[in-house]
Structure formats: C-alpha cells, structure tokens
C-alpha cells in the first residue's frame, strides 16, 4: 500500500519531498505528547498545490491524512493514525504580505509564532497569542489548536486574531474562510475551522490581526504564604475592574525548580508567587499598578518586586516560560494538564490537586494562567519506575474530573487531541457530541482528516477510532 | 428566567416548521411560521469571573443596565434581545477595539431541529474543549438551532469614555493613536471614541487637537458594506456625507445595498452540508439562507 501511495504522491510532488524511510516515519510518529502512532508517508509541502495534491491522493485512496506544524502539541493532536499521510507545513514559512496601516498580515502556516512578532516588530505591532512554546510552535499549529498563552487574558486567544484562512478541504478543494473584509455573508466558517485540530482540512495561508505594541508596561512579582491567598488577590483584581495583560502563578516547587536553573532571584521560600503585567498608556498602567498594590496590601502581601527595566522584565518572563524546561531538574518526565476552572474556585482546585497527587505519591508543580483560571499542573515522574505511569494517568484523570465538576472545562489551550478524547463525556452529553460530529461530517464526509481525535464516539468511524499502539491517554 | 430551557425545547418540538420571535429589532420572526419565544431573564452576573448568564430572550437593555450596576459591560449592540443580537451576529461601532461580537459567546444551551437541548462551548473565558459550535451559531440566523440560554464574556467599564471630532485625516489617527475604540469618517469629518484612564484620554485629545462631542454621528442606513479596511482610502473620491466608514475595520454604513460577488461553490457546499446535518428537514427558520441575508444595520 505504501509504495502505491508514495508513487501517487511523487507523480505530483517533488519526489525528494515525499519520504517513507524508517527514519522519517519514526520521527513523525509523535508530537510533544507521550503518545505515538505510525506515519505512512511524510510530505514536506512547499505550497498550497503540494498540500492539495497530498489531500487529493488521500481522498482518492480513502487514506487518513494530517497536517503537522512544529509538532509541539501536548494533546496528541499530531500523532498519526497508522499509515497516515503526514503533511508537514514547516517549509511553508514565508510572511506573504503585511498591511502595516490596518495591522494585518498574510502568512504561511509554517511561520513560527515568535518569528512573526519579531519580523513585524519594526512596525510597532505583534501577534498577540504567545504560548510558552512560541519560539518553536507554528501559526498553523496555533490555528489548529486555537492556542492561547499568558497574554491572552486581555487580548483573547488565536481565534480572535485570525481574520481569514486559505484552506484545503478534505475533498481537496481550495477555498478561503472569512476574509479581510469584516462582515461576510454566511456562517463563520473561519471561527469553526480555528481549533478544529486538523479535522476540517489544512490551513495553507493565514490572515492574522496584529496588535499595536503598548506604550507602557509594568511587571511585578508578588509572593504569598499560600496558593489560596494568591488566588484570592487575582479575584480581587478582576472584581475591581482591572484586567491585567497577564496574571501568572507559580507554586513553591515550581519557584524552586526554576530558580535552581535560571537564578532569577525568585522567592523560593514563598508558597506561591504571582507574576502580574499591566500594559497600556502611561496613566492607565500607573493607576492599575497602584490599585493592585493597594489590593495586595489589604490582603497582607508584604513583598512586591517590580521589574526596574526591560532586562529584569525579560528575566521574570524567562523564568515563567522556562518552567517546563526546569522540571528536568526534578524528574525526567512530566505530564501536563490544561483544565480551566472559575477563578473563584482556583484555590480549592489547587488544594485538591495537592491532595490527589499526594495520595498517589507523585510530585506536582503548578504554574498557570491564574487570570483566566487556566491550570497547568505538571505531574513529574520517572517513567523508569514501574507502575508510575498508571498512577500519573489515574491522578490526572481525577484532576480533570474535579476541574469539570466545579464548573470548569477539559482544556484551555492545548486542545483535546487523543489525550482527552475519551474524557469529553465529562463535559458533553451524547446530544452535545453528536452536534460536534455533525459539524465534522459536513467538512469531512469521508472521515479522513486527522481521524480518531477529539470525538470519543466510535459509531461513525469504525475502527479508525482505535488509539494507536503504544499510546496511553 | 420566565420559562425553563426544557419548556422552550418542548415548544420548539420535533416536527414542522418553526421560527423564533424576539423583539423584532433585527428583522423579527419569519411571517407565516409558528413562532416560539426563548426564555428571558438574567440568571447570574459574576463580575469577578467576567461572565453573564441569561435567557436568550432577555432584552439587551436589561443586560446593559444590570451590568452597569456592577461596573461592567458586554460588546453586544443595544436594542432587541441578546438571542436576536447573537443570531444576527452584527457588531457595533466599537469593533476596532473590542473585536467582533461573535467573540463574546462562551457557552450556549440551544435547541436543535430534533427538539433536544444541546450544549455548545464552556462556561469559562478560555476553552478549547471540542469544536467551536458557538462561533457556528453566532450569525447563523437561527437556521441551525435556537439559542435558549447563553453565557457571555463581559468586561469592566472604562474609567473614562469620550467621543471626539476632528477634521484630521482618519488614517493618520489610526496610525498615531493607541488603541482607539472607534474611528468613524464620512469623507470630511472624523469622529472617534477614546476609552481609558482620564489623564491618558486628555493627553491624546490635546495631542491630536480633538474636540469633545456628545456621541457618534447618525449612521446612514440601513445597509452595511463590508470591504477590506485597506480599500477605505478609495472613499476619498466619493461625496462626503454619503457614507460613514469604520476606519481600520471596513464596515461602511450606506443608504444603498452592496452588490456582493458570487459565492464560492465550496463555501455554498459547506453551508448546505452543515444545514443538512443540523436540520435535515429544514424546519428551523425555513427558507432562510445565511449566505443570502444582506447585512443591515
């Protein structure tokens, strides 16, 4: 079968960019999650025509295909079903055009998130979604997962920053969803496509909104004697009518792990710390900072560190965004969750996370977007210890179930992928899920676009919903 | 709420044509088709979570009044019901800063063609659990389901919010001002709204020699043209006062309708397939086609 597929692809795509050797298929069998699948053929697309050719071959032969950006996804969304055609968009990495006046840009999906902001920095603008992986994750991946990041509290996630998409639909046709003009007739298919995890087609060009840089910025770090006290201050701030650009929390184990690695002067004695950033015009930043300090003082917060300059600010953010890397100082493996809970329940849920992980004898590091209630408990472990993975899995499931039970959701920014597919019934009824399935069927009647992700119901997909060999979810 | 979501679902039923009636502000229910009314009433406002939950039949003026009491607002135009505003999906003149209205809907319990209550989205401000049915339903004109209850994202009211006018070039204002809320231009005069710290607004107003006014100009209507914002400069050749354009956005308010180009067959097919899967018998707002609905103010 593979030979036939390779031959069909090589008829239309430069044969050097159609690869089925053991090295490539092994490399592309996984993403940044702990799951693996089995790629059949990898196509290194350089154009919309390449993507279209690959999708047409898949459609004609009834084979699964999936698009892959940088492979930084944490939910298994880019883990290939067995024998799939993997379409890598990493070579489609050009910024096509920039409209500086109206702050829009057309880019190819393989452009890296941070590269885009760097390339347009001279125009005084940036791309707002900023996942911690922004140095390596691609715009195409951001679109597929509707990615967020620390600074999405004020400016919104990827969906709010995508104006239009050129896509190759699962039947091989090319169309544009949305547009540079704001009020097209019809359904918001652009909005539906963003976050569809590669199951509605492949984005081949993306029109993004660029945000004005802020004239002023202030960043501060506060320390607390308990996670609950930090969480309470977050609620106080929002209730007072202040929406900071970012409000990030790190707990003690996180502070200690990061400090041991980066030596950023973090308060390792504190139970938790909040990193708060206010942006805007000078008067607004000053008044928000003053208000936040008053609210903090009212809660008895003694130590507040304010970044004195851009260097110190960058150091604090490096500490926050480097938290996942610092985990290697604690244990060789980690498993990361991504639930969102109402802000008012943050302290209670974190306490529950500590209780659950203690019960299973697992270390946990908490580093998360406190402003929007988006938790990121990192369960750290050593996969070489027998039975550990099962415990991590069970503890994680309890954490997710508790988050949903208090009025939260399964995923804030990583997506469902394979990892949380079978947990979807915690949040959605069969009726709810059948509506999502209906939308999928409208885009992909053949069920070949990144099948077996997101939706748990196997009714319409037969054995394609099987989790790949070696996967654990 | 004045009725439960289950009572609403029972009224929608499982067979026969049905339409939904709000306040008839944006076109109203289809004539000659039995109409149902969505639940009305505010369930909760949680300022610390920045969310409001209410029945889809709740009047927008009630929503705005209740939110103002806790120092918040929501980016949905005034008038009519919240369900009607979401079903039509038309943003107000603050889109430049606040983004399109479709972004405010976090979760909804809607009633589909099968008469079943269906949940889309999630109650938190951040959520990527499953496909984004909320974006599908906003602007679908009730052709895929009727909003029953909604949870929308709110935001704090600005400390200062003022309208100004000037004869300056609107495109220079777009380039020079920090995140203006709205820039409106009729070919001669520019109106703009600035929100934020009172001192910052004063600095911007004096720096750009803006004159404070009571509010925005009346908008020519009823039609809204949708053009790429990069093409708005071409309006310089038109008669001043015959239009009001939202600079940086691309909506142009006019008396005459816009001639729109043909629909891409792939887009037509996606619409037809979605309708087919959500409402196979075509009973919800029968005959109404979101692709053919001309956008009106």
Residue A85 lies in a domain: no
- Paired with B194 in beta bridges are B162
Closest residue in B to A430 (Cα) is B118
Asked if A284 and A273 sit in the same domain, the reply is yes
> Is A372 in contact with B126 (Cβ distance < 8 A)?
yes
Q: Which CATH number goes with the domain that contains A355?
A: 3.30.70.2740
Asked if A307 and A358 sit in the same domain, the reply is no
Determine which helix (DSSP H) or strand (DSSP E) holds B184, and give its type and residue range: strand B182-185
Residue A19 lies in a domain: no
A215 interface with B at CB cutoff 8 Å: yes
> Is A340 in contact with B127 (Cβ distance < 8 A)?
yes
3-class DSSP state of A277? strand
Q: Is the dihedral of CA A109, A114, A119, A122 positive or negative?
A: positive
Contacts of residue B136, Cβ cutoff 8 Å, sequence gap at least 6: A187, A188, A191, A192, A439, B120, B144, B274
Q: Is the dihedral of CA A121, B101, A163, B125 positive or negative?
A: positive
Q: Which residues of B touch A429 (CB under 8 A)?
A: 119
Asked if A137 and A179 sit in the same domain, the reply is yes
Residue A82 lies in a domain: no
State how far the Cα of B120 lies from the Cα of B132, in Å rounded to an integer: 7
DSSP string for residues in A406-420 = TT-BS-SSS--TTTT
Q: Which of B 102-131 lie inside 8 A of A, CB atoms?
A: 102-103, 112, 116-120, 122-131
Q: Which residues of B touch A176 (CB under 8 A)?
A: 264
State the smallest CA–CA distance between residue A170 and chain B in angstroms: 11
> Is A415 in contact with B128 (Cβ distance < 8 A)?
yes
Bridge pairing between strands B190-196 and B146-153: unpaired
A336 close to A399: Cβ distance less than 8 angstroms: no
Q: Considering A325, A342, A376, which residue would you say is the last residue of a domain?
A: A325
Contacts of residue A190, Cβ cutoff 8 Å, sequence gap at least 6: A162, A163, A164, A165, A177, A178, B135
A341 is in which domain, residue-wise?
A: 327-405
State the smallest CA–CA distance between residue A265 and chain B in angstroms: 31
**In this predicted structure, what is the pLDDT of residue B82?**
98
Asked if A128 and A178 sit in the same domain, the reply is yes
Asked if A318 and A336 sit in the same domain, the reply is no
Q: Is the dihedral of CA A127, A131, A136, A138 positive or negative?
A: negative
Residue A458 lies in a domain: no
State the smallest CA–CA distance between residue B32 and chain A in angstroms: 24
Q: Which CATH number goes with the domain that contains A227?
A: 3.30.70.3450
> Count of domains in chain A?
3
> Cα-flanking dihedrals φ and ψ of residue A205, to 5°?
-145, 145
- Paired with B35 in beta bridges are B19
Q: Which of B 223-262 lie inside 8 A of A, CB atoms?
A: 224, 226-230, 248-251, 260
State how far the Cα of A89 lies from the Cα of A78, in Å rounded to an integer: 12
Q: Considering A276, A305, A325, which residue would you say is the last residue of a domain?
A: A325
How many beta carbons lie within 10 A of that of residue A243, not counting itself?
A: 17
Per-residue confidence in pLDDT tens, chain A, 473 aa: 689 999 999 999 999 999 999 999 999 999 998 889 999 999 999 999 999 999 999 999 999 999 999 999 999 999 999 899 999 999 999 999 999 999 999 999 999 999 999 999 999 999 999 998 899 999 999 999 999 888 888 888 999 999 999 999 999 999 999 999 999 999 999 999 999 999 999 999 999 999 999 999 999 999 999 999 999 999 899 889 899 999 999 999 999 999 998 898 999 999 999 999 999 999 999 999 999 999 999 999 988 999 999 999 999 998 888 887 888 888 898 888 999 999 889 989 999 999 999 999 999 999 989 988 999 999 999 989 999 989 999 999 999 999 999 999 999 999 999 999 999 999 999 999 999 999 999 999 999 999 999 999 654 433 333 444 434 43
How many beta carbons lie within 10 A of that of residue A354, not counting itself?
A: 15
Domain ranges across chain B: 5-156, 160-254
Q: Which of A 309-348 lie inside 8 A of B, CB atoms?
A: 340-344
A18 close to A74: Cβ distance less than 8 angstroms: no
> Is B200 in contact with A284 (Cβ distance < 8 A)?
yes
* pLDDT over 80 (residue B50): yes
Asked if A198 and A180 sit in the same domain, the reply is yes
Q: Which of A 7-66 lie inside 8 A of B, CB atoms?
A: none
Residue A252 lies in a domain: yes
How many beta carbons lie within 10 A of that of residue B90, not counting itself?
A: 22
Asked if A196 and A232 sit in the same domain, the reply is no
Angle B65-B66-B70 from CA coordinates, rounded to 5°: 110
Closest residue in B to A176 (Cα) is B267
Contacts of residue A189, Cβ cutoff 8 Å, sequence gap at least 6: A177, A178, B267, B270
A447 interface with B at CB cutoff 8 Å: no
Pull the structure tokens for residue A232.
């309470």
* CATH top-level class of B5-156: alpha beta
A426 close to A433: Cβ distance less than 8 angstroms: no
Q: Considering A344, A375, A405, which residue would you say is the last residue of a domain?
A: A405
B295 interface with A at CB cutoff 8 Å: yes
Contacts of residue A443, Cβ cutoff 8 Å, sequence gap at least 6: A169, A170, A196, A199, A200, A201, A449, B270, B273
Q: Which CATH number goes with the domain that contains A100?
A: 3.30.465.10
CB pairs under 8 A between A and B: 256
3-class DSSP state of A164? strand
Task: Closest CB to B128: pick one of A145, A241, A431.
Answer: A145
């Amino acid at each position: 079968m593979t030979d036939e597929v390779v031959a069909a692809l090589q008829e239309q795509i430069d044969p050097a960019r159609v690869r089925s050797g053991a090295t490539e298929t092994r490399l592309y069998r996984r993403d940044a999650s702990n799951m693996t699948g089995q790629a059949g053929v990898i196509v290194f697309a350089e154009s919309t025509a390449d993507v279209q050719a690959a999708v047409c071959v898949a459609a004609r032969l009834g084979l699964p295909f999936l698009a892959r950006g940088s492979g930084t996804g944490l939910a298994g969304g880019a883990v290939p079903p067995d024998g799939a055609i993997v379409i890598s968009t990493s070579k489609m990495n050009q910024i096509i055009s920039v409209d500086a006046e109206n702050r829009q840009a057309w880019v190819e999906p393989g452009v890296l998130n941070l590269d885009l902001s760097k390339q347009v920095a001279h125009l005084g603008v940036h791309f707002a979604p900023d996942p911690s992986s922004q140095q390596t994750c691609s715009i195409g991946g951001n679109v597929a997962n509707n990615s967020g990041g620390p600074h999405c509290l004020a400016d919104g996630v990827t969906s709010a920053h995508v104006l239009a998409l050129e896509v190759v639909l699962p039947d091989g046709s090319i169309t544009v969803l949305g547009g540079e003009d704001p009020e097209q007739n019809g359904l918001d298919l652009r909005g539906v496509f963003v976050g569809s995890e590669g199951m509605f087609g492949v984005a081949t060009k993306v029109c993004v909104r660029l945000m004005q840089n802020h004239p002023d910025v202030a960043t501060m770090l506060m320390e607390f004697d308990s996670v609950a006290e930090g969480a309470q201050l977050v609620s106080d701030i929002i209730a007072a009518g202040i929406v900071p650009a970012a409000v990030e929390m790190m707990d003690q184990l996180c502070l200690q792990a990061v400090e041991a690695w980066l030596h950023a002067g973090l308060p390792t004695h504190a139970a938790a710390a909040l990193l708060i950033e206010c942006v805007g015009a000078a008067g607004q930043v000053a008044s928000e900072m003053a208000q936040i300090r008053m609210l903090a003082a009212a809660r008895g917060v003694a130590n507040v560190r304010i970044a004195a300059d851009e260097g110190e600010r960058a150091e604090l953010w490096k500490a926050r965004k480097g938290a996942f890397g610092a985990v290697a100082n604690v244990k060789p493996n980690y498993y990361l969750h991504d639930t969102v809970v109402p802000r008012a329940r943050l302290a209670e849920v974190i306490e529950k996370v500590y209780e659950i992980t203690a019960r299973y004898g697992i270390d946990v590091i908490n580093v998360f977007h406190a402003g929007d209630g988006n938790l990121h408990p990192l369960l750290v472990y050593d996969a070489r210890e027998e039975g550990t993975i099962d415990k991590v899995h069970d503890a994680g499931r309890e954490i997710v179930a508790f988050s949903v039970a208090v009025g939260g959701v399964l995923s804030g920014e990583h997506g469902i992928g394979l990892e949380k597919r079978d947990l979807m019934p915690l949040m959605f009824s069969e009726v709810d899920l059948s509506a999502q399935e209906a939308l999928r069927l409208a885009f992909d009647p053949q069920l070949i676009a990144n099948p077996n992700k997101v939706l748990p119901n196997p009714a319409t997909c037969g054995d394609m919903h099987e989790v790949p060999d070696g996967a654990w979810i | 709420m004045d009725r439960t979501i289950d009572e609403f679902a029972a009224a929608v039923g499982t067979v026969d044509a049905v339409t939904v009636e709000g306040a008839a502000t944006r076109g109203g229910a289809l004539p000659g088709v039995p109409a149902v009314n969505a639940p009305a009433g505010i369930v909760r406002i949680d300022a610390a979570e920045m969310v409001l939950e209410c029945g889809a039949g709740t009047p927008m003026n009630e929503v705005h009044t209740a939110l103002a009491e806790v120092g918040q607002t929501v980016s949905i135009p005034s008038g009519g019901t919240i369900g009607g505003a979401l079903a039509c999906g038309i943003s107000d003149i603050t889109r430049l800063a606040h983004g399109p209205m479709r972004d405010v809907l976090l979760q909804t319990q809607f009633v589909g063609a099968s008469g079943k209550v269906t949940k889309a989205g999630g109650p938190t401000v951040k959520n990527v659990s499953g496909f984004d049915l909320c974006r599908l339903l906003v602007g679908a004109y009730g052709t895929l389901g009727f909003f029953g209850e909604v949870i929308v994202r709110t935001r704090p009211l600005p400390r200062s919010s003022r309208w100004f006018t000037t004869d300056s070039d609107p495109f220079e204002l777009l380039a020079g001002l920090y995140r203006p809320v709205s820039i409106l231009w009729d070919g001669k005069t520019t109106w703009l709204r600035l929100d934020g710290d009172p001192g910052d607004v004063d600095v911007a107003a004096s720096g750009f020699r803006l004159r404070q006014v009571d509010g925005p100009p009346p908008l020519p209507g009823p039609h809204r043209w949708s053009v790429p914002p990069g093409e708005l400069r071409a309006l310089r050749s038109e008669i001043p006062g015959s239009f009001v354009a939202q600079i940086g956005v691309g909506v142009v308010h006019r008396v005459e309708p816009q001639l729109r180009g043909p629909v891409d067959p792939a887009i037509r097919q996606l619409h037809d397939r979605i309708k087919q899967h959500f409402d196979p018998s075509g009973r919800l707002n029968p005959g109404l086609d979101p692709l053919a609905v001309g956008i009106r103010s």
